[in-house]
Amino acid sequence: MDSQTSSSKGTRRARGRPRDWHDKTAQNTIKSLDRAMEVFEFLSEAQGKPLSTIADEMGQSPSTIYRVLVTLEGRGLVEFDPEDQLWHIGARAFVIGARFLRRTSLVDRARPILRWLMEETGETANLGIEKEGHVLFVSQVETHANIRAFFPPGSLSPMHASGIGKALLAQMDAPRLARHLKVARLESFTALTITDAQALQGDLEAIRARGYSFDNEEKNAGMRCIAAPVFDMNREAVAGISVSGPSSRISEGEVERLSRAVIDAAEQLTQAIGGASAAPAFSD
């Protein structure tokens, strides 16, 4: 190899994707892999299903689904319970998910803050991020109380019916919020779920003004949540911190005290990741 060729290759910038990476046409997709991921995602949302049910609900032949499941099983991504004849998500899926969480220091830096928030409020503390129009819960510190909220890492929740979701929606600029509301299903979960886009926008304005959101039994009857946004160095909301628990403990009279702690925790995490924000000042 001559020196000119060596120099040319030495200075060539490495690429993580080809020039036509943005082309999502059929020629650049692997149909069998795409089908396998559909099955994997379906099983992750509805664990403990027999082969026939998975095939029926996905509109695929049992033989096709079986080949996909056996392939995923070989990689540890799904598991089969021979006693119940049911398919479940496998342990390897958790390992891969944990690697995703390690990609950023957000989760690691949040752990002591979540622990402090739980001790300060006596309620379960949560950390969530926006993921494809939903809230993805990435960390949690549970309260010691017998009755408590539980959102295991990896759980997804609709943004309009979530404390963290509404805290993040409230920080979106008008064009981005409009795009979200255009495609979002404002599904009703309880009698208190906000399902009208105009009413939701009014709630988001109030959230922006006071610095925290309040989920008043909008996802689960008898459960409330208070959340505040976490900002990065560009003052963009990248996550939300919340406390959640039964309405009997998160009463109207407790909202101010709890919201102070939640905003404080969100500000601590903002500073810990090098972010910048201006939390609203409380009047004495």
In the chain, where the domains are located: 27-103, 104-272
192, 194, 198, 200: CA torsion to nearest 10? 110
Q: What is the pLDDT of residue 21?
A: 46
164, 170, 171, 173: CA torsion to nearest 10? 140
Q: What is the pLDDT of residue 9?
A: 46
- Over range 78-104, report the average pLDDT: 81
d(C-alpha 55, C-alpha 143), whole Å: 40
User: Tens of pLDDT along 15-30?
Assistant: 555 555 455 555 556 8
Q: Which amino acid is at 66?
A: Y
d(C-alpha 260, C-alpha 268), whole Å: 12
Homologous superfamily in CATH for domain 104-272: GAF domain (3.30.450.40)
What are the DSSP E strand ranges found in the chain? Answer: 78-81, 86-89, 124-131, 134-141, 156-158, 213-216, 223-231, 237-246
- Over range 131-143, report the average pLDDT: 91
CA 281 to chain centre: 28
Which carries the bigger pLDDT value, residue 164 or residue 23? Answer: 164
Contact 266, 241 (CB under 8 A): yes
CB within 8 Å of 167: residues ≥ 6 apart: 207, 212, 213, 227, 228, 229, 237, 240, 242
d(C-alpha 72, C-alpha 54), whole Å: 14
| CATH number belonging to domain 27-103 | 1.10.10.10
d(C-alpha 81, C-alpha 69), whole Å: 12
Q: Two tokens at 48?
A: 């403990």
d(C-alpha 202, C-alpha 242), whole Å: 21
The model's pTM is 0.67
- Over range 188-205, report the average pLDDT: 96
Q: What is the pLDDT of residue 31?
A: 86
User: Tens of pLDDT along 198-228?
Assistant: 999 999 999 999 999 999 999 999 999 999 9
